[in-house]
């Protein structure tokens, strides 16, 4: 091998060469030439590893040893070192390696790995016939140094190429990132870089420059760094979020990076989420959550200004009947119509809320509080008109409670509760009206809760606290009691005796009326059979069926079960249905009445004339009896209209073959007038109040009957 001096000269040449911008292959050629000139060798080669095929191919070579190998050899044919220099010769080579040395025409090979990013990527291979090199440490050191030089060159090229390619890739990324990006001087505001979107998309360019102008016209520019601002572009209708951050630029100067991101969809999503959070999806009104937020603000503002406002709590009367009778889809349509009607009242748009189910709240702000009476009147008038469903008129009234702030309370939940309490008082007082909150109403509500708890317990334990009273129905011409009406009373062990007005509305509201109604019907049937079997075969009893009972899907089967169970003659039972039920969903009413009549009972229309009267549906229904409500009787002696109405119904009944019963007769003058008008039967205090069965028998059936 050659001297150390030649090696040093070669290294100096390589170092100078590295200062020039040459490719790795050119640099490798120079290194191998240096090795060849400074050592007595046959060949010097740089081979790159192909990991997929487990081969190595030539990158640079000074001799011709590998030309016959097509520039490629198997890695397994070399004794490749793991991390240091390795010398292979006849004394330590296996059969395959000896075969390779023989093919190459050399006696030994020296291999050194070349690492790039800590991964073996290439090998420096030196071939020689000088077997003394096996023990020459200086040769080993020199070749190792050359491998390190190649490593340094390769690593430098990789880094430089990575930087260049990374910058190009970064430029492409920034151009396609979907955001506008500008880099400007921290102090002058001069633009040093802008991506394609910031340069060419007008709305982005205008938005960024507008924000930059705001930042640099601010005395404290630093205050805006790290902050973000949202800007709306009126021309494009787009929203952008603009952010500012500090960065050290490639020349070491301080710069500001401005990014503008299109957040239009985010804004739309936020608006959608906010709408869903604050609005009722069915009616489009605000919901309970929004009501609490708005009411809190209004109360605070009203109290501060020394003014007044009000909360109106509305609950629909018997809305369940619409849902059960027509189906929930029509109930939903009704709720939508009601919402539209409420918001159409002057001053209420934007102040109506659906609290859930069939409950609505209206906030009367102080600006329109002086018009509160008109608002209440408009709401009442709205519900006194029919609603159109399935091309048919339906009536659905409401009960409303009114609470005034700050007079009643300034707490959101408390004032709403008070309005709710007043609403229930309106419902308990007969529905279709409104009530202002007061301490008296509050006490009534406490009593209601007590009634509710005891009623639930009474129903669940067998309904034995409920008793049936009977009121006579008298033939006008003979003044004989020919029938009676069964009326329920509650003899509560805890609360004492109560009339129907105190508990029936609550029973309907709680859904307990069906159990109570079935009990009354069964008791009346038993009593009727007893009287029929003991000398009064033609005597009959009227039993009122609640709307809830009539809307049960199995109403006909249920009544048949009771008739069969008691063994009563069905023709001696009169089933009364209310007028409000009869006018809703005529086809369903017809189906129910037809099914009931097939069982044998007669059908009576109760409460006729209570505000919904229509002579047309009377002709359609297969009725046996029409019962005129007492509201027409109270002033009938002086009221010409009431007299004309009764006369009209009497004449109509003769035409369609029904009997007329007038309720609420209390005075002789009323009785005489009704007799002259041709009424068939009367019912009222004039001939008797509702009484227990034994007293009724004594007064109307000539003595107490045997059980």
DSSP states of 495-532: TEEE-HHHHHHHHHHHT-HHHHHHHHHHHHHHHHHHHH
Q: How far apart are CA 701 and CA 693, in angstroms?
A: 10
> 3-state class of 655 per DSSP?
helix
* Residue 611 φ/ψ, nearest 5 degrees: 120, -10
Q: Which two tokens stand for residue 83?
A: 């991390």
Q: What's the rounded Cα separation, in Å, for the pair 79 and 108?
A: 11
Nearest to residue 330, comparing CAs of 382, 268, 278, 393?
A: 393
Q: Give the dihedral of Cα atoms 289, 292, 295, 297; nearest 10 deg.
A: -90
Q: Give per-residue pLDDT as tens, 60-105.
A: 888 888 766 666 777 666 656 566 788 888 888 888 788 888 888 8
Torsion angle (degrees, nearest 10) of CA 19, 24, 28, 34: -10
- Would you say the CATH fold of 453-700 matches that of 283-437? no
- Helix (H) or strand (E) holding 623, with range, is none
Instruction: Report the pLDDT value the prediction gives residue 180, as an integer from 0 to 100.
Output: 83
Provide Rg for the chain, Cα atoms.
Answer: 50
pLDDT score of 223 more than 90: no
CA distances from 255 to 170, 183, 260 (A): 18, 7, 16
Which of 53-57, 144-148, 367-371 is least confident?
Answer: 53-57
What count of other Cβ atoms lies within 10 Å of the Cβ of residue 308? 17
Q: Residue 499 above 70 pLDDT? A: yes
Class of domain 283-437: alpha beta
Q: Report the pLDDT averaged over residues 646-672.
A: 90
The pLDDT of residue 559 is 94
Give alpha helix (H) positions in 218-327.
264-278, 288-305, 319-326
Task: Kindly report, residue by residue over 676-689, the tens digit of the pLDDT.
Answer: 999 999 999 999 99
Between 553 and 308, the more confident residue is 308
Question: Among candidates 569, 512, 509, 581, which has minimal Cα distance to 544?
Answer: 581
Mean pLDDT of all residues belonging to the chain: 82
Question: 27-63: per-residue pLDDT in tens?
Answer: 888 888 888 887 888 889 998 887 667 778 888 888 8
| Among the four given CATH numbers 3.30.450.20, 3.30.300.30, 2.60.40.10, 3.40.50.450, the one describing domain 177-268 | 3.30.450.20
Greater confidence (403 vs 24) lies with: 403
d(CA 18, CA 153): 7
Q: Quick one: CA torsion of 323, 325, 330, 332, rounded to 10 degrees?
A: -10
> What's the confidence (pLDDT) of residue 70?
62
14 or 29, greater pLDDT = 29
Q: Is the model more confident about 318 or about 468? A: 468
CA dist list (Å): 115 to 22, 164, 539: 20, 21, 116
CATH architecture of 453-700: Alpha-Beta Barrel (3.20)
Q: What are 567-602's pLDDT values in tens digits?
A: 999 999 999 988 666 555 567 778 888 899 999 999
Residue 584 confidence (pLDDT): 57
| Percent of all residues in the chain with a pLDDT value above 70, rounded to a whole number | 84
The answer to whether residue 188 scores a pLDDT higher than 80 is no
Query: How does pLDDT run across 109-124, given as a tens digit for each residue?
Result: 888 988 877 778 888 9
- Record the tokens describing residue 449, joined without a space: 């809760």
Q: How far apart (Å, rounded) are the C-alpha atoms in residues 244 and 227? A: 6
Q: Is 361:312 a contact under the CB 8 Å cutoff?
A: yes
Tokens representing 156 are 């430098």
- What is the per-residue pLDDT for 176? 63
Q: What are phi and psi of 57, to 5 degrees?
A: -125, 155
What pLDDT is attached to residue 639? 86
Give the 3-state DSSP-derived string for 388-424, with helices as H, strands as E and coil as C. EECCEEECCCEEEEEEEECCCCCCHHHHHHHHHHHHH
Confidence of residue 344 (pLDDT cuts 50, 70, 90): very high
Which 8-state DSSP code applies to residue 279? Answer: B
Give residue 580's pLDDT: 66
Q: Would you kindly state where each structural domain of the chain is located, as residue ranges?
A: 4-166, 177-268, 283-437, 453-700
Give the CATH superfamily of 4-166. Answer: GAF domain (3.30.450.40)
Burial label for 483, CB within 10 Å (0-12, 13-18, 19+), is buried
DSSP one-letter code for 107: S
- Residue 83 to residues 45, 112, 130, 405, Cα–Cα distance (Å): 18, 8, 24, 88
* Local structure of residue 570 (DSSP, 8 states): G
Model confidence at 440, pLDDT cuts 50, 70, 90, reads confident
SS3 486: strand
Confidence class for position 403, pLDDT limits 50, 70, 90: very high
State which of 225-239, 252-266, 485-499 shows the largest mean pLDDT: 485-499
């Amino acid at each position: 091998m050659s001297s150390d001096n030649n090696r040093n000269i070669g290294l100096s040449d390589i170092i100078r060469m590295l200062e020039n911008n040459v490719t790795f292959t050119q640099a490798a050629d120079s290194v191998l030439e240096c090795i060849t000139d400074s050592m007595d060798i046959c060949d010097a080669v740089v081979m790159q590893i192909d990991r997929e095929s487990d081969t190595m191919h030539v990158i640079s070579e000074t001799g011709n040893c590998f030309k016959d190998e097509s520039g490629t050899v198997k890695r397994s044919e070399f004794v490749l070192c793991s991390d240091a220099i390795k010398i292979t010769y006849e004394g330590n080579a296996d059969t395959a390696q000896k075969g390779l040395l023989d093919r190459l025409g050399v006696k030994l090979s020296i291999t050194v790995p070349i690492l790039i990013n800590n991964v073996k990527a290439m090998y420096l291979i030196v071939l020689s016939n000088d077997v003394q090199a096996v023990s020459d440490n200086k040769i080993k050191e020199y070749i190792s140094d050359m491998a390190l030089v190649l490593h340094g060159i390769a690593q430098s090229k990789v880094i430089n190429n990575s930087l260049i390619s990374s910058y190009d890739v970064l430029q492409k990324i920034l151009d396609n990132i979907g955001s506008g990006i500008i880099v400007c001087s921290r102090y002058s505001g001069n633009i040093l870089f802008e991506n394609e979107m910031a340069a060419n998309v007008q709305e982005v360019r205008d938005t960024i420059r507008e924000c930059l102008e705001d930042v640099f016209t601010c005395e404290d520019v630093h205050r805006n760094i790290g902050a973000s601002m949202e800007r709306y572009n009126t021309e494009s209708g787009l929203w952008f979020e603009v952010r500012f951050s500090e960065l050290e630029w490639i020349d070491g100067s301080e710069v500001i990076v401005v990014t503008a991101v299109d957040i239009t969809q985010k804004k739309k999503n936020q608006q959608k989420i906010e709408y869903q959070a604050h609005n009722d999806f069915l009616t489009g009104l605000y919901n309970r959550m929004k009501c609490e937020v708005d009411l809190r603000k209004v109360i605070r503002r009203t109290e501060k200004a020394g003014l007044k406002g009000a909360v109106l709590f509305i609950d629909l009367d018997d809305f369940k009947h619409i849902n059960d009778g027509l189906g929930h889809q029509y109930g939903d349509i009704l709720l939508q119509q009601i919402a539209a009607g409420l918001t159409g009242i002057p001053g209420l748009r934007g102040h109506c809320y659906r609290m859930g189910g069939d409950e609505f709240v209206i906030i009367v702000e102080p600006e329109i509080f002086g018009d509160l009476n008109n608002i209440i009147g408009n709401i009442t008038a709205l519900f006194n008109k029919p609603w159109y469903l399935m091309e048919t008129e339906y009536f659905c009234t409401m009960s409303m409670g009114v609470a005034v702030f700050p007079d009643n309370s300034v707490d959101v939940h408390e004032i709403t509760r008070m309005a709710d309490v007043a609403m229930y008082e309106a419902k308990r007082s007969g529905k279709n009206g409104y009530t202002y909150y007061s301490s008296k109403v509050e006490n009534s509500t406490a009593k209601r809760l007590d009634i509710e708890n005891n009623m639930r317990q009474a129903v669940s334990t067998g309904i034995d606290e409920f008793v049936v009273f009977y009121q006579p129905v008298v033939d006008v011409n003979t003044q004989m009691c020919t029938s009676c009406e069964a009326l329920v009373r509650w003899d509560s062990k805890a609360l004492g005796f109560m009339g129907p007005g105190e508990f029936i509305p609550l029973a309907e509201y709680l859904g307990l009326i069906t159990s109570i109604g079935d009990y009354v019907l069964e008791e009346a049937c038993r009593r009727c059979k007893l009287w029929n079997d003991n000398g009064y075969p033609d005597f009959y009893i009227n039993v009122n069926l609640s709307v809830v009972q009539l809307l049960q899907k199995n109403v006909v089967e249920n009544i048949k079960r009771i008739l069969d169970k008691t063994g009563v003659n069905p023709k001696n039972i009169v089933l009364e249905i209310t007028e409000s039920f009869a006018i809703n969903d005529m086809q369903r009413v017809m189906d129910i009445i037809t099914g009931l009549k097939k069982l044998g009972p007669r059908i009576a229309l109760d409460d006729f004339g209570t505000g919904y009267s229509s002579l047309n549906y009377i002709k359609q229904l297969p009725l046996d009896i029409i019962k005129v409500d007492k509201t027409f009787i109270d002033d009938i002696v002086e009221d010409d209209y009431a007299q004309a109405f009764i006369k009209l119904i009497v004449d109509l009944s003769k035409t369609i073959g029904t009997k007329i019963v007038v309720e609420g007769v209390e005075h002789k003058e009323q009785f005489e007038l009704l007799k002259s008008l041709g009424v068939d039967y009367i019912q009222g205090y004039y001939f008797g109040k509702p009484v227990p069965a034994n007293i009724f028998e004594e007064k109307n059936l000539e003595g107490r009957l045997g059980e």
